[in-house]
């Protein structure tokens, strides 16, 4: 009996401290999860909504990062997956009256299939071609949606999706629903993060990076680059749709063409650049930072700018929304030029410098112990 | 039956004929060199054989199978592997991971002996080329000589039937060159067939048993190293007609 | 009807070509895919609108026509300066990093969009009409065409020809062509890369803003902060059609696009909405059938 316990403790220990291919200690991730889970105990529920959005955006940003940061396929139109997720779950519910536990997974499937369809032409193109192709996509689909207003609801979008997430728990008060939403979104984010982490540390993840680094060399190694690029597209599309689906049900309760706006394509970019592109934790941390700044900082800091110009001083009253998007875009530009690794990644790398890399021999030894 | 047969391969870009009706064959176990001045079409030839370019006309037959027009990764998976003249490591990955990418291809996965894990196999390959200490180092930190050796290890991880080396001695100092000669000799003794494009004639002539000389996209001479070294046409091509 | 299509298609096609040529110029010479071209497409008209209204206060003596022309020229020049400055500040440090350049230029589009939203009072509409510049119609065959539109087309073609002459004939043009072939070799030959890139960014911005002003005065008669999306989508589609680095291709592609658009508008009911999807559909078709575009890769002149 005692031997089994030590084996499991050892397994947990190595699970959290093993470093493979430069991914930082998972202990950090686990600790942050604990902290995040404890937040509702500290904060009053009314303030939780930006954290819920943060979780959703984290999933969205992570899906973008998989495509861009890991396989180098730049997507400037990721909003399309967000919208596909939201619209498909809403449509399935409104028109077919299928229950939520069916429409949500189905919308993921729709996301995966659309990613496949979208990915196919995208595979043939690179760099600016791909960027502009993905950029033009949501914009073009918007026209399509307005054309078929009778199905898609045009501007107003699909009629509000009833808040069915907790229909089996009618006793929950408004506040408690918010907390439940928070934990649900946190759970989904954690699961997404773990799945993406497993993919990133697998041989497939390795192949993704090889495609990012040098496609031609990857082909020379026998890798079917097209297959892997498509795979990345599908996974990215699935998680992007997940984000849109969750948002439609938890927050909006309504789905409209706003989801196809270029701003939704830019949100994951902002989050990922702030956090650190090409990592798992980067987009997640970046999403949190973005939502925090969005909610608290910018609102209070810049109500109005006065530029004194002799006689006539120009006073530019700055509305809420305008400043924030402007500032975020400016931050992204600044970060890319001066600090391309992102904030979270720089911190993590500083931490890694303190830790010593362990030989693969030792890692193998530990692995054998677990058998 | 020869391992590789190149028949009447032609490729032109715009008005420029890069490879002009080239034909040759390589038998199993051979070690063949291809030399020629810059711009002779050697790398284009490699690109055609390994699927990076589609020929205008001609055929490439490998192990009896017509591989003309196949994609580079399919060709690599059939056992025809190449290295690049300018090294192409996977910069963000540690050295050992570079090898693991090869081992993750369909051919790589087939060939791993069932006792060894891919990591173990990769470590062995690194040992073969002397890069064991740099195992966990990101490839971008490696020196040029190390990267050349990594190219070879990465190609060898696919256990090729035919290995096409593109200027393996490029940029190497005398010590590294000697080491590379030994490595290539060992690969050949292990039973692999090799074709080597190279400019450093001293190193090459020591290694190979047969030499093809290319000039302006054509093969202008073929024979044993000693013969080629005496061949008037070849000398003219390299040194100019003044002599 | 066909003559109508012939002429109107040519005119809108030329305007599309104008913005596309800017993009192709920058990409062909510097390898930079500057998505901010869309933003310049939007900034030009806004500046024009603002200047149109404020200039008379400062120069009360000029005739209204002169004011308009001055506003036109000034707004394009200012946009050109913005274009050069933007290149120098943000894109130059990022030379060679394609992904980052793409992200940065999209963000700049958003920055400009937000700036305009902030600076211009909400709900303010500008009234644009090419008829202000040159009123009246002209009859070509059976078709009556606005003189203003013809003027726009004419001016655009003038610029194309000037650009072709500059690139083929002048020393700077030679430097540009050298850069489009091989940046390092050109640097070794003493070409001042930074200055030339700033110059072409400015030229591209100038052309984009001109295109925007012409578009707005002939078609929508108003500006919107979302204009840059359209501008970008069109520039891209035209350039893909014509071949990413080819100036000749941008011109021809623009014409094709202009004709296609007008034919669709006439043929399909409510075609206006489908037009939005157009760039994407055409792009996909081109990419599937002939990815190089009509005129292939290297930068080519008239």
More confident of the two residues A7 and C182: C182
How much is the pLDDT for C55? 76
Nearest CA in chain C to A334: C90
For A299-332, write each residue's pLDDT tens digit: 655 555 554 544 444 555 555 555 778 888 898 9
Mean pLDDT for all residues in chain A: 79
For B129-164, write each residue's pLDDT tens digit: 888 888 888 888 899 999 999 999 999 999 999 999
Are the C-beta atoms of B41 and B24 separated by less than 8 Å? no
Interface partners of C (3+ CB pairs, < 8 Å)?
Answer: A
Tell which of B86, B117, B136, B142 to mutate to test the A interface (max A CBs under 10 Å): B136
How much is the pLDDT for C284? 75
How much is the pLDDT for B144? 92
> How far from chain centre, in Å, is Cα A38?
22
Written as six digits, the tokens of A182 are 């928070």
Cα–Cα distance measured from residue A21 to residue A19, given in angstroms and rounded to the nearest whole number: 7
What residues in A contact C241, CB-CB < 8 Å? none
Nearest CA in chain C to A329: C107
Inter-chain CB pairs, A–C, below 8 Å: 136
Cα–Cα distance measured from residue B123 to residue A222, given in angstroms and rounded to the nearest whole number: 19
Residue B37 has pLDDT above 80, yes or no: yes
C-beta atoms surrounding B99 within 10 Å: 31
More confident of the two residues B145 and A341: B145
What residues in A contact B108, CB-CB < 8 Å? 221-222
Nearest to A207 among B52, B101, B157 (CB): B101
Tell which of B105, B120, B142 to mutate to test the A interface (max A CBs under 10 Å): B105
More confident of the two residues A222 and C262: A222
Ramachandran region, residue C290 (left: φ > 0; alpha: ψ -120 to 50; beta: rest):
beta
How much is the pLDDT for A128? 81
What residues in B contact A220, CB-CB < 8 Å? 50, 72-73, 76, 81-84, 88, 155
Matching residue, tokens 């190694």 = A221
Burial of residue A310 (number of CB atoms within 10 Å: 0-12, 13-18, 19+) = exposed
Cα–Cα distance measured from residue A50 to residue C160, given in angstroms and rounded to the nearest whole number: 51
> What's this model's pTM, rounded to 2 decimal places?
0.85
Q: Which residues pair with B82 in a beta bridge?
A: B164
Name the H helices within chain B: 42-49, 72-77, 95-103, 106-111, 118-129, 144-156, 174-189, 201-207, 225-230, 232-239
Lowest average pLDDT, out of A358-362, B140-144, B152-156, C161-165, goes to A358-362
Nearest to B73 among A219, A278, A364 (CB): A219
Predicted complex ipTM: 0.90
Nearest to C107 among A128, A143, A333 (CB): A333
Confidence of residue C164 (pLDDT cuts 50, 70, 90): confident
Cα–Cα distance measured from residue B129 to residue B114, given in angstroms and rounded to the nearest whole number: 23
| DSSP code, position A48 | G
Residue B243 has pLDDT above 50, yes or no: no
Residue C298 has pLDDT above 50, yes or no: no
User: What share of chain A in percent tops pLDDT 90?
Assistant: 27
What's the gap in Å between the CA of C158 and the closest CA on chain A? 29
Confidence of residue C68 (pLDDT cuts 50, 70, 90): confident
A20 touches chain B (CB under 8 A): no
For A41-69, write each residue's pLDDT tens digit: 777 777 778 888 899 999 999 999 999 98
Nearest to A206 among B81, B88, B104 (CB): B104
Residue C78 has pLDDT above 90, yes or no: yes
Counting every residue written for chain A, the total comes to 371
How much is the pLDDT for C300? 29
Nearest to A218 among B77, B91, B101 (CB): B101
Are the C-beta atoms of C234 and C16 separated by less than 8 Å? yes
> What integer is the mean pLDDT of B81-98?
91
> What integer is the mean pLDDT of C10-20?
85
Cα–Cα distance measured from residue A72 to residue A214, given in angstroms and rounded to the nearest whole number: 10
Inter-chain CB proximity C118 and A326 less than 8 Å: yes
Written as six digits, the tokens of C114 are 């937000």
Name the nearest CA neighbour of A201 among A356, A24, A320, A1: A24
Q: Which residues pair with C140 in a beta bridge?
A: C143
Inter-chain CB proximity C287 and A133 less than 8 Å: yes
How much is the pLDDT for C25? 87
> What integer is the mean pLDDT of A189-208?
90
Lowest average pLDDT, out of A363-367, B81-85, B182-186, C144-148, goes to A363-367
Tell which of A68, A212, A221 to mutate to test the B interface (max B CBs under 10 Å): A221
Confidence of residue A272 (pLDDT cuts 50, 70, 90): very high
Tell which of C95, C270, C284, C286 to mutate to test the A interface (max A CBs under 10 Å): C284
């Amino acid at each position: 009996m005692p031997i089994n316990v030590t084996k499991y403790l050892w397994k947990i220990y190595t699970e959290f401290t093993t470093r493979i291919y430069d991914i930082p200690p998972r202990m950090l991730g686990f600790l942050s999860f604990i902290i995040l889970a404890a937040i509702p105990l500290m904060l009053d529920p009314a303030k939780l909504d930006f954290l819920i959005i943060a979780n959703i955006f984290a999933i969205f940003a992570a899906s973008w990062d998989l495509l861009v940061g890991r396989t180098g396929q730049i997507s400037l139109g990721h909003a399309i997956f967000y919208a596909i997720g939201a619209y498909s779950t809403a449509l399935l519910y409104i028109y077919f009256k299928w229950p939520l536990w069916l429409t949500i997974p189905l919308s993921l499937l729709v996301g995966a299939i659309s990613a496949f369809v979208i990915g196919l032409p995208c595979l043939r193109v690179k760099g600016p071609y791909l960027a502009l192709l993905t950029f033009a996509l949501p914009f073009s689909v918007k026209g399509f949606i307005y054309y078929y207003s009778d199905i898609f609801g045009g501007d107003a979008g699909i009629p509000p999706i009833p808040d069915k997430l907790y229909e089996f728990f009618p006793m929950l008060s408004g506040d408690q629903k918010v907390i439940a939403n928070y934990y649900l979104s946190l759970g989904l984010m954690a699961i997404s993060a773990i799945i993406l982490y497993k993919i990133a540390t697998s041989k497939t993840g390795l192949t993704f990076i090889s495609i990012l680094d040098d496609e031609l060399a990857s082909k020379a190694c026998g890798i079917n680059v097209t297959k892997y690029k498509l795979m990345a597209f599908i996974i990215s599309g699935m998680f992007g749709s997940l984000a849109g689906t969750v948002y439609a049900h938890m927050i909006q309760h309504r789905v409209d063409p706003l989801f196809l706006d270029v701003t939704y394509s830019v949100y994951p970019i902002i989050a990922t650049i702030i956090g650190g592109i090409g990592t798992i934790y980067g987009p997640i941390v970046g999403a949190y930072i973005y939502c925090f700044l969005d909610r608290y900082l910018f609102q209070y800091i810049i109500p109005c700018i006065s530029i004194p110009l002799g006689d006539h001083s120009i006073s530019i009253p700055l509305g809420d929304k305008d400043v924030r998007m402007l500032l975020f875009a400016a931050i992204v530009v600044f970060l890319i030029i001066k600090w391309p690794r992102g904030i979270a990644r720089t911190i993590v790398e500083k931490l890694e410098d303190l830790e010593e890399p362990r030989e693969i021999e030792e890692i193998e030894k530990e692995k054998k112990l677990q058998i | 039956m020869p391992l590789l047969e190149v028949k009447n391969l032609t490729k032109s870009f715009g008005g420029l004929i890069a490879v002009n009706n080239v034909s040759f064959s390589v038998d199993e176990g051979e070690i063949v060199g291809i030399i020629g001045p810059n711009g002779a079409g050697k790398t284009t030839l490699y690109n055609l054989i390994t699927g990076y370019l589609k020929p205008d006309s001609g055929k490439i037959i490998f192990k009896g199978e017509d591989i003309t027009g196949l994609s580079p990764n399919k060709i690599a998976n059939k056992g025809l592997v190449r290295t690049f003249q300018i090294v192409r490591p996977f910069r963000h990955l540690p050295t050992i991971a570079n090898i693991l990418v090869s081992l993750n291809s369909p051919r790589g996965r087939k060939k791993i002996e069932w006792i060894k894990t891919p990591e173990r196999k990769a470590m062995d390959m690194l040992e073969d080329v002397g890069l064991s200490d740099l195992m966990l180092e990101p490839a971008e930190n490696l020196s040029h000589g190390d990267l050349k050796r990594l190219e070879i290890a990465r190609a060898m991880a696919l256990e090729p039937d035919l290995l096409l080396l593109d200027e393996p001695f490029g940029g190497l100092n005398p010590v590294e060159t000697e080491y590379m000669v030994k490595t290539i000799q060992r690969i050949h003794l292990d039973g692999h067939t090799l074709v080597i494009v190279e400019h450093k004639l001293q190193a090459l002539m020591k290694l190979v048993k047969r030499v093809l000389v290319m000039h302006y996209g054509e093969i202008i001479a073929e024979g044993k190293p000693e013969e080629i070294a005496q061949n008037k046409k070849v000398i003219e091509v390299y040194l100019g007609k003044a002599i | 009807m066909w003559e109508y299509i012939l002429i109107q298609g040519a005119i809108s096609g030329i305007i599309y070509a104008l913005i596309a040529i800017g993009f192709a110029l920058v990409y062909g010479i510097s390898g930079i895919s500057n998505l901010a071209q869309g933003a310049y497409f939007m900034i030009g008209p806004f500046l024009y609108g603002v200047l149109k209204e404020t200039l008379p206060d400062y120069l009360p003596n000029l005739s209204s026509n002169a004011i308009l022309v001055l506003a036109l020229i000034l707004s394009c020049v200012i946009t050109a300066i913005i274009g050069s400055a933007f290149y120098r500040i943000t894109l130059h440090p990022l030379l060679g990093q394609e992904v980052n350049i793409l992200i940065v230029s999209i963000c700049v589009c958003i920055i400009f969009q937000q700036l305009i939203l902030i600076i211009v009072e909400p709900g303010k509409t500008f009234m644009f009409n090419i008829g202000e510049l040159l009123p009246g119609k002209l009859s070509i065959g059976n078709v009556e065409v606005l003189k203003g539109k013809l003027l726009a087309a004419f001016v655009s073609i003038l610029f194309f020809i000037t650009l072709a002459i500059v690139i083929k004939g002048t020393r700077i043009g030679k430097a540009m062509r050298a850069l489009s072939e091989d940046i390092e070799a050109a640097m070794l030959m003493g070409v001042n890369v930074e200055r030339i890139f700033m110059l072409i960014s400015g030229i591209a911005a100038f052309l984009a803003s001109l295109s925007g002003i012409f578009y707005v005065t002939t078609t929508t008669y108003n500006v919107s902060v979302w204009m840059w999306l359209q501008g970008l989508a069109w520039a891209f589609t035209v350039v893909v059609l014509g071949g990413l680095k080819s100036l000749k291709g941008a011109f021809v592609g623009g014409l094709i696009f202009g004709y296609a658009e007008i034919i669709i508008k006439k043929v399909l009911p409510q075609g206006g909405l489908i037009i939005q999807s157009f760039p994407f559909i055409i792009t996909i078709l081109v990419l599937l059938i002939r990815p190089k575009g009509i005129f292939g890769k290297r930068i080519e002149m008239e």
